[in-house]
Structure 1
């Protein structure tokens, strides 16, 4: 990276991010279920082929949660790993943010369930329930702003989905795409020049991805169940158009605010909706595809968890070094999208 760019970003990163105090990630964690579901498994019951799934999505297998376990169980497992890697304990956490639209049940709060299970008794729970696949990005930005308060020292952010429970077993247009997982980060104040440098958020209302029933507009009834309205519906073409447009736009806006170019970024942590979408976004940015971590091939699209699975994989492999620049970007149903730029501390 040119010295002038590095110096500019380091000296004014918190100002560009709109934060008084620099905030970064100090530990990551991830949990995936043990049950592996391959394309061959799905082909037995769906009108599709392994070749079609791989060519259209890049997915070869995914994990589905075992019977008797639920989203909060995955959250707790990922959170414990993130706490251990951060050197913090549950008692050190001031807030627990859980981003998921596959919450354990509409009430009580999934974040509260997780807080209690962890023993994070000093923390308050906060649920982000409708940011969908952008939930990880929104959760981290929310944590960064909470940490501007002098009473906040550590915030636990979790993204998790149990998508096997909300996709229709008879619908190949959704069933093959999604998997179950949870990822977590602990965020704290960091040294000046490190942590979050800039960010961008935006949204545009669309019903191209939705779960029609179960809310106030269409309460669950015997008829809605017969019509399978409780399952996720997705217009795949609309997702492709929005994702391949919005992700590069949001990334460029974020980098402009940090005084950086796409080529300056060491690690792209992109939402794993589909391998082809990740590749297209990198091609539009003019950056080698190898800079984008990939987990969609083995986990599928895990919603709010995807960016955390990529980030944790990079951390576990030792790929991220102090001073490296990272972009974290995601888009979810709504459509809701956002990007963060961080310097590893």
Structure 2
């Protein structure tokens, strides 16, 4: 039986009006991450399909990547920063515990003072959680929201842990939401499975285990993951959740939907798409070039996919990961977009 989950249905058309992304220019090869971890390029590609990833340079921060992605999304949508009524940054690697990274982004964008801006941490599901929140908040307002997923995981990785260091990259992706002529974001579903919360974690740095010389010496500030258990979670929980979601919102059989999933692992995505019956050419992947970029992976992949989408296409956004959690959204695409650039940027500290 599929676990119960919160479902939001369409009452007003709020859609994605623009997309943007920001990938650091620093390309990191499999040899660079694999050698300290004791694995080869062949081993990494065979298990993950990842061939390279981008890592932020020391003078780049999450807020800088996020702001650049947001500016590109605003330009794509043709919306001025002064017309933005909400800014949400989904991240589990904020610039600092306080203030919210979203405040730095709002300042960089030049949105009007008094506009709500806040962070959301649902780890790799965070962008879809934020999208669902913003869509609900915009209904009936006529306003526009900037929703961003941004993470710099490279600074949380143990360079000797082959289970994690080979997987992750850094980046940011953003969308602009607002009133649309089509159905827009017409269904979402959010679910959390707290009994699985220890499968993915960074133990230290919070109130439970404050950062200290002891926590650093024990490596408790590093990202840890039980990869085998995470794969089982995706197979046993995420797959059925997506299937149930699509059954609840049947689509025209003539319009095969597109899948834009969290880029956890290329082999996992291939298996998930095939199991759910998505056409290979409709299962969008960026993990080969960018790795797993956390909350940024869904919006980055959507931005890359935008040039292949046409008005009326149906798109399933599927985020899943730490928490454990999953966030799903069903979107009717508004308009085709021309590719502007490859997403490479400099997201520097302010």
Q: TM exceeds 0.5?
A: yes
Q: 1:287 offset after TM fit, Å?
A: 2.5
Unaligned runs of 5+ in 2: 1-6, 335-350
Is 1:343 the counterpart of 2:332? The answer is: yes
Any unmatched runs of 5+ in structure 1? 1-15
Cα distance change on mapping 1:262 and 1:40 into 2, 3 Å: farther
Q: What's the counterpart of residue 50 of structure 1?
A: 41
CA deviation after TM superposition for structure 1 residue 33, in Å: 0.3
Q: Equivalent of 1:23, from 14, 24, 27?
A: 14
Shift of 1:271: 0.5
1:328 to 297, 317, 332: 317
Among 253, 260, 263, the residue aligned to 2:251:
260
Q: Hey, what's the Cα distance between the residues in 2 that align with 1:145 and 1:162?
A: 28
Q: How does 1:1-345 map to 2 (within 5 A)?
A: 17-122=8-113, 123-129=115-121, 131-150=122-141, 152-191=142-181, 193-205=182-194, 206=196, 207-260=198-251, 264-315=255-306, 318-345=307-334
Shift of 1:43: 2.9
For the residue of structure 1 that corresponds to 2:24, the secondary structure is coil
Q: Distance in 2 between matches of 1:72 and 1:291?
A: 31
8 Å CA contact retained: 2:33, 2:159: no
Inter-CA distance 232–89: structure 2 relative to 1 (3 Å threshold):
same
Partner of 2:344: none
Greater fraction helix? 1
Higher relative contact order (CA 8 A, sep 6+): 2
C-alpha change, 1:97 and 1:71, in structure 2 (3 Å) is same
How has the CA–CA distance of structure 1 residues 178 and 42 changed in structure 2, closer, same or farther, with 3 Å as cutoff? same
> What count of residue pairs does the alignment treat as equivalent?
325
**SS at 2:36's partner residue?**
coil
Q: 1:57-116 CA distances to partner (integer Å, 9 max, x unpaired)?
A: 110000000111110010011011000000001111001000000000001110001001
Distance of 2:167 and 2:132 partners within structure 1: 27
Q: TM-score, normalised by structure 1?
A: 0.91
Relative distance call for 1:285 and 1:244 in structure 2 (3 A) is: same
Give the drift of 1:221.
Answer: 1.6
RMSD of equivalent CA atoms: 1.5
